[in-house]
Amino acid sequence: MYVEMKEICKTFDGFQASDHVSFGIEKGQMAALLGPSGSGKTTILRMLAGLDMPDSGDIMINGILVNDLPGNKRGIGFVFQNYALFRYMTVADNIAFGLEVQKKGKAEIKERVEELLELISMEDLGKRYPHQLSGGQKQRVAFARALAPRPGLLLLDEPFAAIDAKVRRELRNWLKEMIGRVGITSIFVTHDQEEAMEVANQVIIINQGKIEQIGTPKEICFHPQTEFVSDFIETDRWIV
Amino acid sequence: MEQQIVKVKNKKGVRVIPGFGLSMGVTLAMLSCIVLIPLASIFISVSKISLQEFVEIVTSRQVMSGYMVSFTCAFFAAIINGAFGLVLAWVLVRYDFPGKRIMDGMIELPFALPTAVAGISLTFLYSDQGWIGQLFDKAGVRIAYTRIGITIAMVFVGIPFVVRSVQPVLAKLDRQYEEAAMMLGAGRWRTFFRVVLPELFPALLAGFGLAFARGIGEYGSVVFIAGNIPYETQIAPLLIMSKLEQFKYSDATAIALVLLLVSFLLMFLINSLQIYMQRFVKN
Amino acid sequence: MSKKKQRTYQQDIVGDSINSLRKVVEPPKENGSHLMKYLLIGISAAFLFLMLALPLAVVVMNACKEGWDAYREAVMDEYTMKALQLTLLATVITVAVNTIFGLFASFLLSKFYFRGRQVLAALIDIPFSISPVIAGLVFILTFGNMGWMGDVLDKYNIKIVFAVPGVVLVTVFVTFPFVFRELFPVLNAQGKDEEEAAALMGAGGFTIFRRITLPHIKWALLYGIILCSARAMGEFGAVSVISGHLRGKTNTLPLHVEILYNEFNTTAAFAVSSILVLLAVLILVVKSLVEWKKE
């Protein structure tokens, strides 16, 4: 297992956000944390990133117990829901920031930034500021910025939530392809069943802070183990 | 599986953004040295006065009349500011007209103008020989050296508080509410009093409270126009000042403590009312 | 309503009946609200003229009443110059101290969640709700002869009360929350995503502050500094209590104005005031420019 959560519990002001959550994800997998809003999926992602601390339980990444390791030492890239692009830096500076902080050489940074701009097909937009970009472009920059320091694990919080429906499907395929090409283990949070089924090869369904089912999209679709899962997936089929 | 155990610290002690300790340290140290420790002195000094002495000081005729003058004048000034502040905020947010930017800039004049300058200038304006005072003097109304003058000075210092509290809330207020009310056939006045005013009320109240508190404590701009006639126009802060000049430290401390508690109580009441109102408005 | 306009309304009726009906119904209402608009603007303008513009005019008129020579004499007076120096000194120190505090405190309260956060914010606001006279009194009770720190200070021969350090200290106290109050709402509205993202990449506190946080607050910071200087320059009540009115030593400009006024030297009092008015207006203009630039 590349990523493992064991018996994680977390409460916020008496609200049980995570209730004995345990799961594992193999290296190179693309996993989706799927659940209705308020189910506690974002909390799990934030705990993996070290943005929130669990009350009890263990988190392992690449065989290392990271419970008390600050987020920046866990070797992860994080794509925020609203991208959290640095508003006062250009696209290129955004991507370079993580490398600058690691005190990489100027030439190396430049090379890596160019490589990533090419990857996200935004070679000509390096000098733009975030407010001059479309939603889809912002998302791609956030993706490139997270990848720049070559993390071992990529975490994405509702990566498509802020993008309008038309572009979403397109971007979804793009992201799937990119992650496949880079070959990085990734976990993303979503409340959209279709999104999870289409993009991920492992789906973790969460409800009220508990894991309902873990499996491949196929298993979840054809063998739902709880009533909640069958409801949650069924309703989706109806809408689509 | 290879495991590398990192030393376990207090689990909640790990924070993502660095700089918590330093920021907390600097903030607390500066706050304590400049505000909290000096402020504690007033309580230390009061504890040296016996209760009987304390009651005697704050209930003496001079002190009681000082409180009365301060509280009533500040109250009326805050009411006047509430009315005009609302009109000013409305005009600045809802209308476009030449000179609007200058008008908006002028609102902060009482913040920027030294209180002593405002004080002597208002006194000059409203004395029986001043530009405005003359007119009223003919009608037999004296403004400078009366409570009317004190109230006017307090209106001067308090006006920015109301305008600056109401302005942003009014600007953010969704006009759809008003349009909805109009569509339902409500007239302009009814729409204003039933739809707009309730939305603005918490902000208006906050502005009122700030102007009231400022009026009670104000010294520089009031002391000149007040004229300091005993039992008539002596404000409470002036009493503290004159006790200090007579080296009656315990008298000054006692008077100050009551004033301090009243302003804290006032701010607390207005805060609670505001929270209550906001909950009401949200629902 | 002009005839021309009426004709268009009628033409419209022929064209699009529903649309034009609205237009025909609306104009009288519009007229009413126009009247209201000018009435309200009129009230506002009158209020501002009476309450704010006239006092300024009084200062300028009286300062110039006895001509340029009298004005220059009052302004160039030795004691006026000393008072101006002290005022500027106190202002510079106050702004520096309160800026440092404002930066740390607003960063702390907007980027971290901890128990007692609200209490801390309320404590920072205390100087706002305290009478300046009480602020002065508090420092006398602490550092004066009778104060609990008095003996210690005496022993080392440090004078705070009735001396320059006291003047500076009360000025800092009275304007303590100003910079914080300007920065905090901006930082709070910005959220902490950007800082978290930078921290996850391993950026240190100083780097995050300089490269991520500071660009967000540069205008608010400037604005806070401007407001803080205005208040610091004009503080009267608190300084009046603690300075002891020592001419040429602990007199600030506002105190000097008071002395001149109480000596019935009105022209000089207003002449000195005009320096402060000039500074105040200058500050308001700069402030408006900052706001305009920010937009």
Stronger pLDDT, C250 or B81, i.e. the higher one? B81
Cβ atoms of B126 and B143 closer than 8 Å: yes
Claim to verify: residue C156 and residue C49 sit in the same structural domain? no
Q: Where are the beta strands (DSSP E) in chain C?
A: none
Stronger pLDDT, C155 or C101, i.e. the higher one? C101
Q: Is C92 on the interface with B (CB under 8 A)?
A: no
The pLDDT value recorded for residue A239 is 47
Considering chain A, what is the average pLDDT of its residues? 89
Claim to verify: residue B84 and residue B34 sit in the same structural domain? no
Tell me the pairing of strands A64-65 and A56-61.
Answer: antiparallel
pLDDT tens track for B67-96: 999 999 999 999 999 999 999 999 999 998
Which residues in C lie closer than 8 A to residue B110 (C-beta atoms)? 52
Domain annotation covers residue B1: no
Claim to verify: residue B29 and residue B137 sit in the same structural domain? no
pLDDT band at B280 (very low <50, low <70, confident <90, very high): low
Which residues in B lie closer than 8 A to residue A55 (C-beta atoms)? 11
Claim to verify: residue B124 and residue B28 sit in the same structural domain? no
CA distance C119 to chain A (A): 18
Using CA atoms, how far apart are residues C7 and C174, in angstroms rounded to an integer? Answer: 64
Domain coverage including residue B37: 18-47
Residue B214's Cα: distance from chain center in Å? Answer: 4
Claim to verify: residue C223 and residue C272 sit in the same structural domain? yes
Domain annotation covers residue B13: no
Q: Which of A51, A64, A67 sits opposite B16 (nearest CB)?
A: A51
Which residues in C lie closer than 8 A to residue A87 (C-beta atoms)? 194, 215-216
Domain annotation covers residue B90: yes
Domain coverage including residue C172: 67-294
Cβ of B114 and C257 within 8 Å? yes
Q: Which of B38, B115, B121 sits opposite C236 (nearest CB)?
A: B115
The pLDDT value recorded for residue C88 is 93
ipTM: 0.86
pLDDT band at A171 (very low <50, low <70, confident <90, very high): confident
Residues contacting C219, CB < 8 A, separation 6+: C290, C293, C294
> Closest Cα to residue B160, out of B239, B202, B107?
B107
Domain annotation covers residue B171: yes
> Closest Cα to residue A212, out of A39, A87, A25, A11?
A39
Residue C35's Cα: distance from chain center in Å? Answer: 35
Quick one: average pLDDT of A85-98?
Answer: 92
> Closest Cα to residue C244, out of C149, C171, C166?
C166
Collapse the DSSP code of A207 into the 3-class scheme (helix H, G, I; strand E, B; otherwise coil) and give the result: strand
Q: Which of B4, B14, B16 sits opposite A65 (nearest CB)?
A: B4
**Is the per-residue pLDDT at A187 higher than 90?**
yes
Claim to verify: residue C137 and residue C203 sit in the same structural domain? yes
CA dihedral A143, A145, A149, A152 (to 10 degrees): -20
Nearest CA in chain B to A55: B11
Q: How many CA atoms lie within 13 A of C98 on its CB side?
A: 37
Claim to verify: residue B26 and residue B98 sit in the same structural domain? no
Q: Retrieve residue A159's tokens.
A: 């990566």
pLDDT band at B282 (very low <50, low <70, confident <90, very high): low
Quick one: average pLDDT of A169-180?
Answer: 88
In percent, the amount of chain A with pLDDT more than 90 equals 52
Chains that contact C by 3+ CB pairs under 8 Å?
A, B
Cβ of B9 and A68 within 8 Å? yes
Cβ of C207 and A101 within 8 Å? yes
Using CA atoms, how far apart are residues B108 and C282, in angstroms rounded to an integer? Answer: 12
CA distance C138 to chain B (A): 6
Q: Retrieve residue C269's tokens.
A: 């009092």
Q: Which of B54-58, B70-74, C14-18 has the lowest mean pLDDT?
A: C14-18
Cβ atoms of A160 and A171 closer than 8 Å: yes
Q: Which of B101-110, B172-181, B218-227, C173-182 has the lowest mean pLDDT?
A: B172-181
Stronger pLDDT, B280 or A192, i.e. the higher one? A192
CA distance B104 to chain C (A): 9
The pLDDT value recorded for residue C148 is 83
Considering chain C, what is the average pLDDT of its residues? 84
pLDDT tens track for C267-284: 899 999 998 998 888 888
The pLDDT value recorded for residue B161 is 92
Phi, psi of A105 (to 5 degrees): -65, 155
**Is the per-residue pLDDT at C104 higher than 80?**
yes
Using CA atoms, how far apart are residues C73 and C52, in angstroms rounded to an integer? Answer: 28
Claim to verify: residue C127 and residue C229 sit in the same structural domain? yes
Final residue before a domain boundary, out of C63, C87, C109? C63
Which residues in C lie closer than 8 A to residue A89 (C-beta atoms)? 211
For helices A106-119 and A135-147, what crossing angle results, to 10°?
A: 140
The pLDDT value recorded for residue A130 is 93
Final residue before a domain boundary, out of C36, C63, C90? C63
Cβ atoms of A24 and A18 closer than 8 Å: no
> Closest Cα to residue B216, out of B38, B77, B40?
B77
Domain annotation covers residue B8: no
Cβ of B5 and A70 within 8 Å? no
**Is the per-residue pLDDT at C2 higher than 80?**
no
Q: Which of A10-14, B235-239, C11-15 has the lowest mean pLDDT?
A: C11-15
Quick one: average pLDDT of C6-22?
Answer: 40
CATH number at residue C241: 1.10.3720.10
The pLDDT value recorded for residue C27 is 37
**Is the per-residue pLDDT at B1 higher than 60?**
no
Using CA atoms, how far apart are residues A130 and A114, in angstroms rounded to an integer? Answer: 17
Nearest CA in chain B to A57: B11
Q: Retrieve residue A21's tokens.
A: 């959550």
Collapse the DSSP code of C193 into the 3-class scheme (helix H, G, I; strand E, B; otherwise coil) and give the result: helix
pLDDT tens track for B11-47: 444 577 888 999 999 999 999 999 999 999 998 888 8
The pLDDT value recorded for residue B232 is 87
Nearest CA in chain C to A50: C200
Q: Retrieve residue C236's tokens.
A: 């009267």
Cβ of C202 and A49 within 8 Å? no
C 255-284 → B contacts, CB under 8 A: 255, 257-258, 261, 266, 269-270, 273, 276-277, 280-281, 283-284
Considering chain B, what is the average pLDDT of its residues? 86
Claim to verify: residue C20 and residue C82 sit in the same structural domain? no
**Is the per-residue pLDDT at C133 higher than 80?**
yes
Cβ atoms of C210 and C128 closer than 8 Å: no
Q: Which of C194, C196, C201 sits opposite A149 (nearest CB)?
A: C201
The pLDDT value recorded for residue A154 is 94
Nearest CA in chain C to B37: C142
**Is the per-residue pLDDT at C1 higher than 70?**
no
- Domains delineated in chain A: 1-75+159-240 (3.40.50.300), 87-150 (no CATH)
**Is the per-residue pLDDT at A68 higher than 90?**
no
The pLDDT value recorded for residue C102 is 96
The pLDDT value recorded for residue C42 is 93
Final residue before a domain boundary, out of C63, C94, C111? C63
CATH number at residue B178: 1.10.3720.10
Using CA atoms, how far apart are residues C108 and C114, in angstroms rounded to an integer? Answer: 10
One-letter identity of residue A49: A
The pLDDT value recorded for residue B281 is 57
Claim to verify: residue B88 and residue B38 sit in the same structural domain? no
For helices C266-294 and C78-111, what crossing angle results, to 10°?
A: 30
In percent, the amount of chain C with pLDDT more than 90 equals 42
A 155-194 → B contacts, CB under 8 A: none
State the total domains in chain C.
Answer: 2
Claim to verify: residue B97 and residue B184 sit in the same structural domain? yes
Which residues in C lie closer than 8 A to residue B69 (C-beta atoms)? none
